[in-house]
């Protein structure tokens, strides 16, 4: 037997229909059940909020999450464009069909069965609705092992529209970056539905920074970066942004961000890309390991 065949025999086969079913289940879960970490962060903010209207709005967010879960209604009518992070173990062989098709089938079934709004236009310029909420955007990663991890994020566009990338000079400082992130939050104002979760990508290239920012939103709120300098930066930004007085609906309050999640990456000597992906208080995702 050749090495190639040996290796093939040791691969774990996963049928893509399993991925399809998982994507369907995760789309429904993400839309109906507010993430535990996000809900906890909102609950934690209620007793600390000093603005009466803001406090009452935070309670309404908790009430809304309860209604959505119990009645199987979407948390928000903007059921988002679907972003899928697919961590594929290198010892996995996907069999039984086309993986991209399987993922899109899962999305299509969930959005039809779950009475979720179809918010995707097939062509950005002619703008005709695909009526299926597909295609999803898939970000594959090859990792060691024989498992597949799927994370599905349903990303609303009120906040996506307020996200930004800035290419800093390499000589600019952390204070400059903080100033930019705060300006993005101020610009997001009421339109992006505060309190926000911020995903920040620092380094890489123009596109990599944006992808890191999006992936940072998948990390639970309250779980700091494993890197000491980033953990400090996250904590400082959380405190400083919450002192800006924006609050829920941007009508004032102490609760403007629930969490700031930063991921960094190496970059070029000539540059320092920074991306901020703004996410609303209905930051929705769900994950599963197969």
Partner 1 sequence: MSQIRITTPLTKDIIAGLKAGDEVLLSGAIFTARDAAHKRMHELLLRGKRIPLNLKDAIIYYCGPCPAPSRRVIGSCGPTTSSRMDAFTPELLRLGLGGMIGKGDRSLEVVRAIKKYQCVYFLAAGGLGALLSTKVRSARPVLFRELGPEAIYRLEVKDFPLIVGIDSKGNNLYDKTRWKKS
Applying CB under 8 A, which residues contact partner 1? 53, 57, 60-61, 63-65, 67-68, 71-79, 115-119, 127, 129, 131, 156, 158, 161, 186, 189-191, 193, 244-246, 248-252, 280-282
Q: Reduced to 3 states, what is the DSSP secondary structure of residue 193?
A: coil
Q: Whole-number minimum distance, CB 22 to partner 1, in Å?
A: 23
Q: Whole-number minimum distance, CB 62 to partner 1, in Å?
A: 10
Cβ neighbours of residue 38 closer than 8 Å, sequence gap 6 or more: 197, 221, 258, 281, 282, 283
Is the Cβ of residue 197 or residue 212 nearer to partner 1 in the bound state? 197
Neighbour count for residue 134 (Cβ, 10 Å): 19
Q: Which of 88, 51, 41, 78 is nearest to 247 (CA)?
A: 51
Tell me the two tokens of residue 281: 């208080």
Q: Whole-number minimum distance, CB 151 to partner 1, in Å?
A: 21
Q: Whole-number minimum distance, CB 183 to partner 1, in Å?
A: 12
Stated as kind and residue range, the H or E segment containing 201 is strand 196-204
Rounded CA gap, 36 and 262, in Å? 20
Is the Cβ of residue 16 or residue 193 nearer to partner 1 in the bound state? 193
Is the Cβ of residue 93 or residue 115 nearer to partner 1 in the bound state? 115
Q: Whole-number minimum distance, CB 163 to partner 1, in Å?
A: 14
Rounded CA gap, 156 and 1, in Å? 52
Is the Cβ of residue 44 or residue 117 nearer to partner 1 in the bound state? 117
82, 156 contact by CB (below 8 A):
no
Rounded CA gap, 63 and 60, in Å? 5
Is the Cβ of residue 18 or residue 117 nearer to partner 1 in the bound state? 117
Residue with tokens 């697919």: 86
Rounded CA gap, 160 and 178, in Å? 20
Is the Cβ of residue 93 or residue 121 nearer to partner 1 in the bound state? 121
Q: Whole-number minimum distance, CB 246 to partner 1, in Å?
A: 5
């Amino acid at each position: 037997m050749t090495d190639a065949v040996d290796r093939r025999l040791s691969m774990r086969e996963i049928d893509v229909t399993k991925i399809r079913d998982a994507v369907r289940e995760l789309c429904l879960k993400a839309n109906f059940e507010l993430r535990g970490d996000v809900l906890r962060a909102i609950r934690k903010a209620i007793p600390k909020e000093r603005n009466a209207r803001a406090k009452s709005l935070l309670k309404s967010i908790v009430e809304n999450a309860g209604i959505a879960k119990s009645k199987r209604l979407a948390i928000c009518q903007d059921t988002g464009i679907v972003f899928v992070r697919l961590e594929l173990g290198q010892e996995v062989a996907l069999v039984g069909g086309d993986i991209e098709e399987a993922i899109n089938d899962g999305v299509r079934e969930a959005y039809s069965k779950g009475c979720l709004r179809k918010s995707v236009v097939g062509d950005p310029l002619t703008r005709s609705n695909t009526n299926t909420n597909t295609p999803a955007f898939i970000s594959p990663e090859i990792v060691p092992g024989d498992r597949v991890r799927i994370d599905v994020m349903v990303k609303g566009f009120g906040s996506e529209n307020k996200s930004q990338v800035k290419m800093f000079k390499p000589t600019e400082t952390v204070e400059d970056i903080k100033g930019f992130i705060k300006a993005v939050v101020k610009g997001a104002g009421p339109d992006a539905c505060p309190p926000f979760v911020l995903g920040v990508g620092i380094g890489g290239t123009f596109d990599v920074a944006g992808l890191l920012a999006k992936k940072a939103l998948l990390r639970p709120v309250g779980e700091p970066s494993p890197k000491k300098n980033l953990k400090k930066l996250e904590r400082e930004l959380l405190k400083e942004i919450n002192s800006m007085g924006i609050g829920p609906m941007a009508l004032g309050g102490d609760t403007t961000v629930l969490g700031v999640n930063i991921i960094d990456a190496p970059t070029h000597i000539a540059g320092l890309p920074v991306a901020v992906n703004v996410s609303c208080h209905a930051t929705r995702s769900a994950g599963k390991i197969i």
